[in-house]
Structure 1
Amino acid sequence: MPRLFTGLELPANTAFMLSMLRGGLKGARWIDPENYHITLRFIGDIDDRCADEIVSELDRIHRDPISVALDGLGSFGNGKPHALFARVKPVKELVELQAEQERVLQRIGLKPERRKYVPHVTLARLRGTSAHEAARWLSEHGDFQAPSFVAGRFVLFSAKATVGGGPYVVEEVYPLAA
């Protein structure tokens, strides 16, 4: 059973800039730069027949390329942080692409995503990191910005059933060129 999700890849120079943020935080398991991405829709563990249907349905999505900008850093987990991330500006085109994928996947029988979509690039997963330690790290690095880039495609990734963080494999590529 493959574990699938859709996302946008990052250019090498953006990934390199993000990788320079690694370190200096107890309890952080840093994501390898080659696995940085912007998740559009987590699909999960599915059977091969459903995977084939997903591949086919995603191929019907036709959108223009998307200008992507990373702007600042943050953490998920309120009082008990569990991940550090780079914020992605939620431009209209990105939000609409994600919403269309959500509709397509629900139409073929997948359950709706429960969480509100927050575009981001996960940098590290945290275990045993206090809110104070995470806040300190964010205050030292939080003004991060990277040059914007144009995403010319979205991809269907597969992942091993692990705690997260890769390695991820590009299974299908969908050009953004309406």
Structure 2
Amino acid sequence: MYRLFVAIDLPSDIIARLQGLCGGVPGARWVQPEQMHLTLRFIGEVDGGIFQDIKEGLGSIKAPAFSLQVKGLGFFPPRKTPRVLWAGIAPVEQVSGLRNRIENRLIGMGLEPEGRKYSPHITLARLHDTPLARLGRFLAGNSLFATEPFLVSEVHLYSSQLTAKGAFHTIEASYSLQAG
């Protein structure tokens, strides 16, 4: 079985900027730099035959390259106990359009649609018993966080292996986006 997802990798300078945020929040389990990415579609577990179909099928998606910026911070779920601290992106339209192409291709191949609304973000930390006041101060202190824009020219199909030491991600295939 393969546990799959499709994602955009972040340039190393963007990851370094995000890493600079990782501290000062009690109860936060910070994401390792090599696991920072922008998930477009979590696929889940599939067998080897479906894995090959997905790997080939995603290659038929045509989409333009685009510029993206990491901008803003927040947490999930809103209005409930915070569980995930995230960085947002701007603009959202190109990412959502690409994600919809991927989603439609996967549905066309017989996979179930993703059940929840897509909310593009980069997970920075998983939160456990984090005091809301401390999280609020962290968010207020970093409210103007934004990186320089960067070019998104490819997406990747990843497999993820869960271990006692955390998840290990492996690129299974890469797909180029067309130059604008």
Give the structure-2-normalised TM-score: 0.93
How much has 1:56 moved relative to structure 2? Answer: 0.9
Q: Which runs of 5+ in 2 are unaligned?
A: none
Aligned equivalent of 1:41 = 41
Distance 1:7 1:164, change over 3 A: farther
1:173 paired residue number: 174
Q: 1:164 to 1:8 in 2, by over 3 A?
A: farther
Identity of aligned residues (%): 38
Structure 1 residues without counterparts, runs of 5 or longer: none
TM-score where L is the length of structure 1: 0.94
**Distance in structure 2 (CA, Å) of the matches to 1:151 and 1:59:** 16
Aligned length: 178
Inter-partner Cα distance in structure 2 for 1:163 and 1:65 = 37
1:42 positional shift: 0.3
What letter corresponds to residue 63 of structure 1 in structure 2?
A
Contact 2:2 2:159 in 1 (8 A): yes
**CA distance, structure 2, for counterparts of residue 8 and residue 158 of structure 1:** 14
* 1:148 and 2:149 are equivalent in the alignment: yes
Query: Closer, same or farther in 2 for the Cα pair 1:162/1:111, shift >3 Å?
Result: farther
| Structure with greater strand percent | 2
How far does residue 168 in structure 1 lie from its aligned partner after superposition?
1.4
> Matched residue of 1:41: which SS?
strand
In angstroms, what is the RMSD of aligned CA positions?
A: 1.7
Spell out, residue by residue over 1:18-40, the C-alpha distance to the aligned partner (whole angstroms, 9 max, x if none).
00001111111100112110000
Map 1:16-95 → 2, pairs under 5 A:
16-78=16-78, 79-95=80-96
Distance 1:44 1:164, change over 3 A: farther
